[in-house]
Structure 1
Amino acid sequence: MRDYDEVTAFLGEWGPFQRLIFFLLSASIIPNGFNGISVVFLAGVPEHQCRVPASANLSSEWRNHSIPRQMQDGREVPSKCRRYQLAALANFSAQGLVPGRDVNLSQVELEPCLDGWEYSRDTYLSTIVTEWDLVCEDDWKAPLTTSLFFVGVLVGSFISGQLSDKFGRKNVLFVTMGMQTGFSFLQVFSTSYEMFSVLFVLVGMGQISNYVAAFVLGTEILGKSVRIIFSTLGVCIFYAIGYMLLPLFAYFIRGWRMLLLALTLPGLLCIPLWWVIPESPRWLLSQGRLKEAEVIIQKAAKINGIVGPSIIFDPLELQDLNSRKQQSHSILDLLRTQNIRTITIMSIILWMTISVGYFGLSLDTPNLHGDSYVNCFLSAVIEVPAYIIAWLLLRTLPRRYSMSSALFLGGSVLLFIQLVPPDIDTALIVANTSDSRIYTSCQLPW
């Protein structure tokens, strides 16, 4: 059978049909920018200390001294997880004793936060941390939520390709977009940490699956000269747009439930795309559905103002293709020979390194000096020049040179950032955000 690109060359490379598919598929990635990093604000940890109930019968002076002080980042702050025994303080208060003068507080026993915590509302009105008290003994639960999201991403990565091969790129794209939007919506009504976390796993599965499906669908529909642009400046920049919108939403919506709802609703705008985005003609041909593939190509020709041939795909060629023994493949084929096994292992190591660098730095933006919303926005904005540079490198340099130089630069920045004095906040922020975008460029399909 003739090459697909040769058969469909009459459509051109950048007509109205190709532009429509390019921008619609790229736009469908915008919600992925929300979900991938949203946990930065959904699970934000505000300043907190033990709650001292009004029933403790403490004078205002003893109430002010009920929380021990500790050093943090060179400054003295209230303890987050301990308080002085309220029964002892109430006894001192009833006797009219003065803290520090009559009573040495260092000799008073401490107790955990038996009455819960008081949270600062300067940055967040509410997060899942303040909702379910994920602090102190339970402070491991908030990071676990992020890990569970990426467990979903891992599972989705394994199954999305097989599902799109079996059921079609378009079907998997829209089912997983619905999965991402639907389960995000259900998260808004979570009644427990466990419910939120289980739903987050499913959101992660949908998030990566629709990303992969859109990526594959676009590369199969678009021509050779447009595929690199689509996979870099298209899909990736629209992901960055979603990422940029995240801190803007979070800045104006400080409660986690309303924020999550606001981030979920834009996914509904993708519903009309079902009637506009076609199935991959390449996939239809691989399934022997020649007539459906021809209808899509003829429609594309009409949109481009081109009169296509009456017969695009020769049925005899398709019969010859189908008569050949179809060879089945599985993931084990990636380990079958020495050469492909080496490439597979190297790719796995590279992707692990890149993902740890990118998401580790991106998810750490609240811990940087300065405003967390500004830091997150800058981290997203700087992705755009990174993608443009990566696109230029893909056009001009061999892949291995581009990849190795980007990784070397990223690793060097991580090493030398330790030499920046901690009081130079701007330099630290710039170095961290720049380094994460270096890893961004490494994620592209070199």
Structure 2
Amino acid sequence: MYGVKLRVKARVEHTVGYSDYSDYSDSVTGRSKSIRKPTPTIQHNNTAVVQSTQQHSPNPSPQDAKDELKKKSKNDADPLEAILGYVGDMGRYQRFLFVFMMPFGVFFAFIYFVQMFIAATPQRHWCTVPELAHLEMEVRRNLSAPGAATGAWDKCSTFDVNWTQVLQTMTPPPPGTPTVPCRHGWDFELTDIPYATVVSERGWVCKHAGNVPMAQAVFFAGAFTGGLILGWLADHFGRVPAVVGANLIGGIGGIATIFTTGVWDFALCRFLVGMAFDNAFMMTYILVLEYVGPRHRTWVANMSIALYFGMGCLSLPWLALWIGDWRKLLWYTSAPMLLVVFAPLVLPESARWYVSQGRINQAVKVLRKFERVNGTKIPDDVMDEFIVTSNQTKQNKESLLVLMKSAPLRLTMILMLIVYMACSVIFDGLVRMSDALGLDFFISFTLTSATEIPSVTLLACVLDRWGRRNLTAAPLCIGGILIGIAMLVPKGIPQASMAIMARFCINMSYNAVIQWSTELLPTAVRASGSATLHMSGYVVSVLSPYIVYSERLWTSLPLLILGIVSILGSGISLVLPETKGRPMPQTMADGERIVQEQALCGKAEDIEEADWKNEKEKALIT
């Protein structure tokens, strides 16, 4: 709590030369430390000459010290980080917001994966023959499906015969009998998928099988569009309106899907749902993280995803089985999202966004609300300093285009895009391979989803110790190796085991890079920048269904592609800057500072240590 006062005190004393000792606070823990900074010296003719700041400059007036303090304050990464130390970096209000994220995280999982369950394809199907409709299902299949006697029948064609004669003999036509494509639809045996789906109702198999990946591609196209629109909305009108808008669009799109009858209206509704995908949760996620102090940010960031997203993933397959109807499943997973209209009553707007828009009074009101709920008190002088500092920076109207004009930030953004895309396509690809691992679809999906909670819990425990960079690169590399091993083992339990362990690793990398990207982006472009990163994930995720379908060319081709992408993503992530223990950047200059203090695979330099080195160099020059 006292870290901010001690830091201010240290900077004033060092500036006016009152003391050789300076107290400062650790930027992460808030604990005060005391170090002795040696008096600057210079070498002249091989003789050390001691320079005294008191001898070369008179003691400044209190006003001069105050002016110097304001000048120094501009160099702080984020004035709100200091305020959190007084208002409580994980107080009652922050804990409430953590719980409040639960429905957003659960329905984020529903939005993402529900199409896998409403459009699941029963594997046992064959051509419908109207003349055989009065017979039992097994008899119909044995008579009409070429190859039924071997158990590997033709699903897309039937015999071109006189079925009246077949009924008289009740004997299937002999091998070599001419066949024709299915003319009257398909019969489905609902054993592996024990309920009617869009696919079984509308016959989206064989020549119509492309409707399923097409609808999924349209979903991700909607996610890309929604990222643009809602990211812009968040940066110009606030995070809360974006949260409300995203969830309303998702709820309406999901309900509208129930009433579709064809391909294109179904795809249009999935486009609307796609617009809400990710944005419905990530806007809330980013907003809550802004009010959590650095000591707790890693825990909140990762546990919210592990618990809530993981809960949604684990419950969805069994919810689908329990409901047993794809339309009712959409009702249960879409209608509750409309309750988001009440979210503004409890969800605070981003104080950082208010500051970036020059609306300082609203930012102060939000902080006062945290103060009341947490039962804390922000000292008047600290609040005054926050207002002064915020007013000095409120005119910096920065955009993502400005970020791309900065060479360090541009390179960082591009590399982060590549790493994020790698994590996205591997994660999505492993999810969509759930029914190709030789196990039951629902069990396989549950087992892979069960890795979410332990993997992200482990990440939350070690992320602040080992850093974002290491915990993105290492799991990606290990995951790539496990995917490679999966290519060499038989389907069933061996291959599923490798895929599950790979999913465990990718979960860690994916969640680490989500938090990492949030901490690298300056406040003014955090929403639009995060949206851009996520949009890159949407774009590449369009490919994941087709990567999985490439199994038809070579059984191991999907695993080979995902393994190579994983190894490449691991290598690229090593050159990105570390953000462990650093305040979120408020301005472009803050972001550039984080990037420029890094070396290839290097260790992040402590902020206070960097400040001291800069001051020492200036003193030596003087």
- For normalisation by structure 2, the TM-score amounts to 0.64
Q: Distance in 1 between matches of 2:407 and 2:391?
A: 35
Confirm or deny: 8 A CA contact 2:126 2:141 kept in the other structure. Answer: no
Equivalent position of 2:431 in the other structure: 362
Indicate the SS of the match to 1:111: strand
Deviation of 1:319 (Å): 4.3
Report if aligned partners of 2:227, 2:279 keep a CA contact under 8 Å in 1: yes
Which residue in the other structure is 2:345 paired with? 275
1:47-446 equivalences under 5 Å are 47-54=124-131, 64-69=142-147, 76-87=151-162, 89-91=163-165, 99=171, 105-122=174-191, 123-309=193-379, 312-313=383-384, 317-322=389-394, 326-331=396-401, 333-334=403-404, 336-422=405-491, 425-444=492-511, 445-446=515-516
Judging changes above 3 Å, is the alpha-carbon distance between structure 1 residues 92 and 402 closer, same or farther for their aligned structure 2 residues?
closer
C-alpha distance after superposition, 1:341-393 (max 9, x if no partner): 43333222222221111011112213332322222122222111110222233
CA RMSD of aligned residues (A): 2.7
Once residues 417 and 339 of structure 2 are traced to their aligned partners in structure 1, the CA distance between those partners, rounded to angstroms, is 35
**Which position in structure 2 is the counterpart of 1:42?**
118
C-alpha spacing 1:281/1:83, structure 2 compared with 1 (3 Å): same
Given that residues 28 and 270 in structure 1 are in contact (C-alpha distance below 8 angstroms), is that contact kept between their aligned partners in structure 2? no
Structure 1 residue 124, shift from structure 2 partner? 3.1
Question: Cα gap change, 1:108/1:442 in structure 2, threshold over 3 Å: closer, same or farther?
Answer: same
Give CA deviations for 1:223-258 in whole Å, capped at 9, x if unaligned: 222221222112343111111111121121222111
Quick one: which amino acid aligns to residue 428 of structure 1?
Q
1:287-343 per-residue CA deviation (whole Å, 9 max, x = no partner) reads 222222222222211111224446834655554444x5x343234733x35544433
Aligned to 2:105: 29
Kindly tell me: are residues 328 and 317 of structure 1, through their superposed partners in 2, closer, same or farther at Cα, counting changes over 3 Å? Answer: closer
**Greater relative contact order structure (CA < 8 Å, 6+ sep):** 1
- More displaced stretch, 283-292 vs 164-173: 283-292
Q: Answer yes or no: is the 8 Å Cα contact 1:44–1:124 preserved in 2.
A: no
| Amino acid paired to 2:96 | L
Segment of structure 1 superposing worse, 112-121 or 152-161: 152-161
Q: 1:131 to 1:298 in 2, by over 3 A?
A: same
How far apart, in 2, do the equivalents of 1:408 and 1:177 lie? Answer: 35
Whole-angstrom CA distance in 2 between matches of 1:62 and 1:243: 37
**AA in 1 matched with 2:275:** M
Q: Is the 8 A contact 2:126 2:187 kept in 1?
A: yes
Further displaced range: 168-177 or 25-34: 25-34
Number of positions where the alignment pairs a residue of Structure 1 with one of Structure 2? 432
| Cα pair 1:62 1:93 within 8 Å, conserved | no
After TM superposition, the score normalised by the length of structure 1 is 0.88
Closer, same or farther: CA 291–414 of 1 in aligned 2, 3 Å: same
What residue identity is the alignment partner of 1:25? M
What SS class does the counterpart of residue 490 from structure 2 fall into? coil
Q: For the Cα contact (< 8 Å) 2:110–2:313, is it kept in 1? A: yes
Q: Secondary structure of the residue that 2:280 maps to in structure 1?
A: helix
Report if the CA contact (8 A) 2:141-2:148 is conserved: no
Unaligned runs of 5+ in 2: 1-69, 74-78, 517-622
C-alpha offsets along residues 392-428 of structure 1, whole Å, 9 cap, x if unaligned?
A: 3311114333222111111111110122233xx3233
Is the Cα–Cα contact under 8 Å of residues 58 and 93 in structure 1 kept in the other structure?
A: no
The gaps in structure 1 that reach 5 residues or longer are none
2:84–2:291 contact (8 Å) kept in structure 1: no
Instruction: Please give the alpha-carbon distance, in whole angstroms, between the structure 2 residues aligned to 1:318 and 1:364.
Output: 50
